[in-house]
Structure 1
Amino acid sequence: MMGIFSQAGSHFRAATTAVKPRGSLEDERAPSDTESDDTSILDENEGSIITSLISQLRVGMDLSRVTFPTFVLEPRSMLERITDFMSHPDLIFGAENCNDPEERFIRVLQYYLAGWHIKPKGVKKPYNPVLGEFFRCRYDYPDGTHGFYIAEQVSHHPPISAFFYISPANRVSILGELRPKSKFLGNSVSTTMEGENRVTLLGLPEDGEYVITMPNMYARGILFGKMVLELGDTCMAKNEKHGMFCDLDFKTKGFFSGTYNALTGRVRRNSTDIGEVSGRWSHIMDFKYTKTGNKRVLFDAVKDGQNISPKWVPTEDDQEPNESRRLWKDLTLAIEHKDMEAATDAKSAVEDAQREQRKRMEESGQKHVPRFFELRDGRWVPKLTIPSDPTAAISTVQQWIFNSRPTLAGPSSGP
């Protein structure tokens, strides 16, 4: 045990000696090209993350209770954060009425690219969902139509979040899963976002699925300096039925060149170039047609980013114990009050209950059975048969998401 504390102390001293004085001009400037929402500059009371971690240690303290400081926690679960990609439905609604498959593909690209600008100020990490946790909501659109969303943590090792969105009246469904994997890289952390989004235009089943993968995320400057969030590396969008493909490159800024939040991509149909995507996901993204050289705006986050579709979520009193907002309500309240000790206790309470639940199930020989999703042919899909008639589909989906209750064979209602 003494070796652990000695090693931690040596790393702490090495990190702090590398930190420039907080009063220096260089230290007070945010990295060039970043927006205020992309960067966290820690004040004198917050210090560096490693300082906060060390400050939590107490003689005889269980090290499993050490948690990230409250100022790097986003007060919502990852299951809710996924809803950011359903915030601009107007970009994809009606795509089935486009006669050109290339235009339909571009419309799906617009939906996907429009979700990245939504994030909390600075570098924040949502809660890691616990096994059996779920989040559900409904969207009420101005024209009287609705959208429905459900996400569930279907696996703990490895962590897998399955999610499903559908708007029967607007003939769109989105099915996907996320399998994040994080690595410590010295002064940064990378999160590999494995998994896929599968978009279906319900009015054009002959199109098949539009499949989109995710870029990786990087939190820079987590030990000292300025914390900056970046998206990096490549991801892919494709519709195999029509031979449509797009390789998107989210660019991280180099030490001496480049810009933050930039991305590029080429859209092709089979081997023929259709056009080029360029811009910044936090600002304006354009599409330039290869044949004509004409440009169109895919999404303007500065102009249209505030037009986010609001979501209706049941009140905490109407939620089940393992529903995200109710499950994490004590942690969320502690973060809002900037009470790190209370946040540590609240987070530990949920995680300790999760470990105890898994232990009881292992001892009794039980296996966790997800409530809303099932693994079929290697893919997590809803436990639901959706009628083709939109009116019947609305009733079926709403009943399944909001009025169903777990059966005796389902997961426990606790964390």
Structure 2
Amino acid sequence: MGHDDASPPHAKSRETCQVEEQTHHDGDDDDDDSNEFFSSLPSSTASTGKDDERSIWGRTRLPVPMFSKNDFSLWSILKQCIGKELSKITMPVVFNEPLSFLQRISENMEYSYLLEEADKAKDPVERMELVTAFAVSGLASNLERLSKPFNPLLGETYELVRDDIGFRIVCEQVSHHPPVSAFHADSLHFKLHGSVYPRLKFWGKSIEIKPEGHLSLTLLSHGETYTWANVNCCIHNIIVGKLWFEQYGVMEITCQKSGLTSALTFKQAGWFYKDLHRIEGFIYNKQKSKLRFLYGKWTDYLKSASLKDYEDYMQMHAQTSFRAPDHPGDISRGSSASASPAHTPKKMYAKLNSFTRSLTGGSSGEPPKSPEPVDFDNGEIPKSDSTYSLDIPNSHILWQATPRPEYAPEYYNMTLFAIALNEMEDGMDRYLPKTDCRLRPD
């Protein structure tokens, strides 16, 4: 299986989707009712501008660029909130981006084509690979998204119907205290639902975000259900320096029917920043035996390698050594040639050893456990050096992130998918409920 071209497939025509819906029947009257409801909503594919001003998702720019926040201090707001739950703290609107949290949830669907491919795959291991890729892809849009989405009001909703792409999603704020958001998405190939209870805490120099809640996915052609929870994330340099973002912890995806488990470790940047954004893990069978090795960066891509290729790669580098830089910041600042990883392309064994121990829990075959958060803020912005990337022969790409436009920093570092989420098209207000995010006056 190869997925080197990981960009979203070309959109299907609406006529094709309608024919597929007429021929697809799973015997559930409730589904028929929901189909009738969703079909009454207009597709979000109407073109209202020049072709070069539109993407597959819609508009390519917000009506107004982001203004400078240099005159505003986040520390002046947060210094009274150390150790407190930030969801209960009123924040100035200057720190928000023009999206509701419900719309941020819908960004999980940007790479929904992976679930369609998973549903069509005949091999259960291949299905687990693609489901894992989808779970990782939903986090990619978080990179450098340092503005806070608006808190949804109780009963607020967001509906996105993309019959040209082949999915639809509805999100609703179902609780105010504590704030809980629920969502349901489906297509001809899958059903996905879950809830999110985001918990934010300020620890003096960083903000920790715990997205409590679980996601449940069913692949309709196989009757398989996959469950997982997202990992924690942290925003650094709250007091001094430029803000930067990392995600860490263990994401464990399980499928009861096949008995397969995918366990990915989202690695913390660490003192040398060499593991910034790295993800590594294995797919296990019922007996906890490893079947595939998965690796990549949650910001960019996910690859899969056979266990034999992974072990051969490990053995090939068994006699090499790694000399750490003289100082923790040398990698990000660019140290001498003798200490730079760029001049030691084969010296990866120490890194392989370390992540192997963390992934396997030592000698046992048990999936790894989530690490404790580490605070190492020093005001610098770490850089992820590509020379630390693994490149195991015969690996294939499961997913690759769509590049953001070069002007993304002008628009809150949003992806093209996110930029289009709040777009109101002609006639849409006649179909949307008054509770939809797009109709918020703020």
- TM-score of the alignment, normalized to the shorter chain, above 0.5: yes
Equivalent residue for 1:194?
212
Among 235, 256, 269, which residue is 2:251 paired with? 235
Map of 2:101 onto structure 1: 78
What residue in structure 2 maps to residue 225 of structure 1?
A: 241
Secondary structure of 2:75's counterpart equals helix
Contact 1:287–1:297 (Cα < 8 Å) also in 2: yes
Who is 1:177 aligned against? 195
- The residue aligned with 1:351 is none
Aligned twin of 1:137: 160
Normalising by structure 2, we get a TM-score of 0.56
Alignment match, 2:31: none
Residues 157 and 172 of structure 2 are in contact (CA less than 8 Å); yes or no, is this contact kept in structure 1? Answer: yes
Structure-to-structure mapping, 1:8-407, within 5 angstroms: 45-51=70-76, 67-119=90-142, 121-141=144-164, 146-168=166-188, 171-205=189-223, 207=224, 209-270=225-286, 271-293=288-310, 294-301=394-401, 317-318=429-430, 319-327=432-440, 329-330=441-442
Distance 2:104 2:243 in 1: 20
TM-score, scaled relative to structure 1: 0.59
Residue 401 of structure 2 aligns with an amino acid whose one-letter code is: A
Number of equivalent positions: 272
Instruction: Name the structure 2 match of 1:379.
Output: none
Q: Which amino acid aligns with 1:135?
A: Y
The aligned amino acid for 1:211 is T
Alpha-carbon separation, structure 2, partners of 1:147 and 1:302: 19
RMSD, aligned CA: 3.0
Q: 1:174 to 1:161 in 2, by over 3 A?
A: same
Shift of residue 98, structure 1, vs aligned partner: 2.0
Aligned match of 1:345: none
Deviation, 1:71, is: 4.8
Would the aligned equivalents of 2:78 and 2:202 in 1 still touch at CA under 8 Å? no
> What is the rounded CA distance, in whole Å, between the counterparts of 2:89 and 2:292 in structure 1?
49
Compared CA separation, residues 244 and 154, structure 1 to 2 (3 A): same
What whole-Å deviation, never above 9, does each CA across 1:325-347 have from its counterpart, x for those lacking one? 212x32xxxxxxxxxxxxxxxxx
Secondary structure of the residue that 2:439 maps to in structure 1? helix
Contact map agreement 1:191 1:217 (CA 8 A) in 2: yes
DSSP 3-state at the match of 2:213:
strand
Indicate how the Cα distance of structure 1 residues 320 and 161 shifts in structure 2: closer, same or farther if over 3 A, else same.
Answer: same
Structure 2 residue identity aligned to 1:157 = H
After superposition, the Cα gap between the structure-2 partners of 1:303 and 1:256, relative to the gap in structure 1 and judged at 3 Å, is: closer
Segments of structure 2 that go 5 or more residues without pairing to the other structure are 1-66, 80-86, 311-393, 406-414
The equivalent residue for 2:361 is none
Instruction: State the partner residue of 1:26.
Output: none
The CA distance in 2 between the partners of 1:82 and 1:141, in whole Å, is: 20
Aligned residue type for 2:283: V
1-side partners of 2:120 and 2:215: how far apart?
A: 22
Structure 1 residue runs of 5 or longer lacking an equivalent are 1-41, 55-63, 331-415
Write 1 or 2 for the structure with the bigger share of helix: 1
Q: Percent identity?
A: 28
Q: Report Cα offsets for 1:200-228 as digits up to 9, x if no partner.
A: 111222x2x11121001211122332211
Q: Which moved more, 1:196-205 or 1:65-74?
A: 65-74
1:412 maps to what in 2?
Answer: none
Contact 1:48–1:222 (Cα < 8 Å) also in 2 = no
* Contact in 2 for aligned 1:218/1:231 (Cα 8 Å): yes
3-state SS in 1 of match to 2:169: strand
Separation in structure 2 between the aligned mates of residue 212 and residue 285 of structure 1, nearest angstrom: 17
Mapped partners of 1:179, 1:246: distance in 2: 23
Query: For residues 99 and 122 of structure 1, do their structure 2 counterparts lie closer, same or farther at Cα, with a shift above 3 Å needed?
Result: closer
Larger RCO (CA within 8 A; separation ≥ 6): 2
Q: What is the alpha-carbon distance in structure 2 between the residues aligned to residue 82 and residue 65 of structure 1?
A: 20
